[in-house]
A and B are shown apart, each in its own frame.
Chain A
Amino acid sequence: MARIIVVTSGKGGVGKTTTSAAIAMGLAKKGHKTAVIDFDVGLRNLDLIMGCERRVVYDFVNVINGEATLNQALIRDKNCNLLYILPASQTRDKDALSKEGVGRVLDELKKDFKYIVCDSPAGIEKGAHLAMYFADDAFVVTNPEVSSVRDSDRMLGILASKSYRAEQNQEPIKEYLLLTRYSPERVKLGEMLSVEDVQDILSLHLLGVIPESKSVLNASNSGTPVILDEKSDAGQAYGDIVARYLGENRPHRFIDDKKGFFRKFFGSK
């Protein structure tokens, strides 16, 4: 049975697209046929992060409007042949999305794919609402600072009340917390909320912590999902997250300030 995962946050710039790209790649690398959809119509980014921007012919809106078939619009990833990308339209706005249209595309994808990752736009308006509406699981991406936490909380309320599952009185969407851009050193200095602080406010199952890392920016710039950079801390953290999501039991990392030899190698910045 296919599962639809929404990567959402409410707030912008917290790492939704980075996360969508990384976990979609991670799931595909684990042998699951995965599609990742960019719901940010008008502000298309996922294709850049996935490094397929030169191969976009048709997009999500074309498929919804029946101007192209799903197979024409899906782009196969260059690194993994089980991963497909459905890019957003850059020339349209969110009004081009409709509940019926999105539902139809997702239903078609469900026949063929094991996981469908929906990269939500920021905000709580139409695009974000449609990205989460049909979801089975939600990855709530949060930065360790108060405004991001509050926006995530708001988004969790919407997940609990305005999704298809909520409207049909089905089992609610499973919610997972992903804490991104985490810096144990800054937590120590009191500049950042700690994992405990965030957990206390959101009381949500923590799927993983992604450390603040240069490798994320490098990965974005080069158009390769950061999870493929297995040497990087962020890449490993996403690897852990995918493994945990698939049921593996892995201890949390990157939460504590690593002293000792790490410091010696990388300096204390």
Chain B
Amino acid sequence: MSTDSQKTPKTPMALEFKSSTFSVPVLVVASDDLAVIEQQLQEKTSLAPEFFKNSAVVLDLQEINKRDYDIDIVALTDTIRKAGLLPVGIRGGNAQQNKQALELLIPVYSMHSGSVSVENKKQKTIVVPVIETKADEDVGIETDATATTLITQPIRSGQRIYAAGDLVILSQVSAGAEIMAEGNIHVYNTLRGRALAGVRGNSEARIFCFDLQAELISIAGNYKISEDLDESVRNKPVQIYLQDQALIIKDIVLPH
């Protein structure tokens, strides 16, 4: 870390690995017909040409492989590039597809372990964060998917926390803060900010908090904003989970 650079001032650091989180759209491909893909992509991008122009995208091949379609990654990549998008990764591919992707210098990302809820999403673009590199330790970014991230400091307005596994927070999460986890989120205090669990599509993920005053809650992309929260669930301990694509907020009754 930067302490080293202080000890050896003669060799200033030319680079530094930092861990950072990005939101990248995932393109779930569910057809092997390149012409259809091209046409539908065109329709989608024409809706917001500025947004999609040169936008990075991760290709999700899980649907294709589930249906045993065979698709040529080179041709698919070409089609997507033609639509103005820049593929920066694939996931859910088989060995052959992964190999092809790497030959095109496109990184291969793994699907989140456990059940994944892309099934009902059909051909739809969802936004999920992708972790860029895994080198330096940064504030609250835990990159081991099996690990639980524990945070004891308050999460203040404007701060963002991303955990690859579960996220446990013992202090309050302020309004204007954003906490995200690929697994579950536990807040043993007041939750006033935004909480997004199962950000990589894990629909089994849950949010638990001692005092729900959140600005937004989301599980696997299904979200509710503060305005949609019923008064009956506010300001008390609750758990939030997904059932048939709907967010269920349920009281947690504490023993006396």
Contact = CB atoms under 8 A, between A and B. Distances in A.
A201 interface: yes
A158 interface: yes
A78 to B, nearest CB: 39
* Residue from B2, B154, B177, B190 whose CB has the most chain A CB atoms within 10 Å: B154
Interface residues of B, number: 19
Given A158-B158, A160-B156, A167-B2, A153 B175 contact: yes
Nearest to A153: B157
B129 interface: no
A150 B154 contact: no
Interface string B65-101: 0000000000000000000000000000000000000
Interface string A219-232: 00000000000000
B171 A203 contact: yes
B3 A168 contact: yes
B154 A156 contact: yes
Interface SS of chain B: helix, strand, loop or mixed? loop
Contacts of A166: 139
Given A161-B139, A167-B2, A153 B171 contact: no
Interface string A164-205: 001111001000000000000000000000000000110100
* Residue from B158, B159, B175, B176 whose CB has the most chain A CB atoms within 10 Å: B158
Given A167-B2, A203-B154, A153 B174 contact: yes
Contacts of B192: 201
A154 interface: yes
Interface string B140-183: 00000000000001111111000000000001101111000000
Interface string A134-178: 000000000000000010011011101100001111001000000
Contacts, number: 43
* Residue from A154, A158, A168, A200 whose CB has the most chain B CB atoms within 10 Å: A154
B174 A161 contact: no
Contacts of B139: 161, 166
A46 to B, nearest CB: 27
Contacts of A167: 2
Contacts of B172: 203
Interface string A76-88: 0000000000000
A251 to B, nearest CB: 26
A150 B2 contact: no
* Residue from A156, A158, A166, A167 whose CB has the most chain B CB atoms within 10 Å: A156
B87 to A, nearest CB: 33
Nearest to B1: A169
Contacts of A200: 190
Nearest to A146: B175
A157 B157 CA distance: 6
A166 B176 CA distance: 21
Given A156-B154, A203-B171, A150 B3 contact: no
A200 B174 CA distance: 10
Contacts of B158: 154, 157-158
Contacts of A169: 1, 3
Q: Which 3 A-B pairs have the closest CB atoms?
A: A157-B156, A153-B157, A154-B157
12 contacts: A153-B175, A153-B176, A154-B158, A156-B154, A157-B157, A157-B174, A160-B154, A160-B156, A160-B159, A161-B139, A167-B2, A201-B175
Interface of B: 1-3, 139, 153-159, 171-172, 174-177, 190, 192
